[in-house]
Amino acid sequence: MSQEVFERGMAIRKSVLGKDFVEKSFAAADDFNMPMQQLVTEYCWGAVWGRDGLPLKIRSMLNIAMLSALNRNHELRTHIKGALTNGVTKDEIREILMQVAIYCGVPTGVDSFRTAKEAFAQLDAEK
């Protein structure tokens, strides 16, 4: 593991998902799943999110579309919150999910809208 890439990944992951969320993920990790936390932090957040080719806002928008298409609602909820941090608006999230509904199926879109609404409500409750 590259310590430099890991540290860059940790910084980006915390800035997008929140310091508390990331620290809880690491605190809850055990011998079984700690390697996954390290892999995600280094390769996902450090090596890919840390590239200069796309701004974080666009990466967040892409993640919303892909996670919706894959019906990965737990991760979608997390990335919707991160997208808002990265400057994606609720209106833009709605438009992404409308696009998903057309190209990936209305049931997928419905589930994704439900997940987004839950994420928004949770964020509002935390304010």
Is the CB of residue 50 less than 8 Å from the CB of residue 5? yes
pLDDT at position 96: 98
Is 69 found in the same domain as 83? yes
Is 66 found in the same domain as 24? no
Residues 6+ apart with CB under 8 A from 28: none
pLDDT digits (tens, 9 = 90+) for 18-64: 999 999 999 999 999 999 999 999 999 999 999 999 999 999 999 99
For residue 123, give the CATH number of its domain. Answer: 1.20.1290.10
Q: How far apart are the first and last CA of the chain?
A: 37
Three-state secondary structure call for residue 48: helix
Is 91 found in the same domain as 71? yes
Residues in the chain: 127
Whole-structure pTM value: 0.92
- Which domain, by its residues, includes 29? 1-53
pLDDT at 77 over 80: yes
pLDDT digits (tens, 9 = 90+) for 3-13: 999 999 999 99
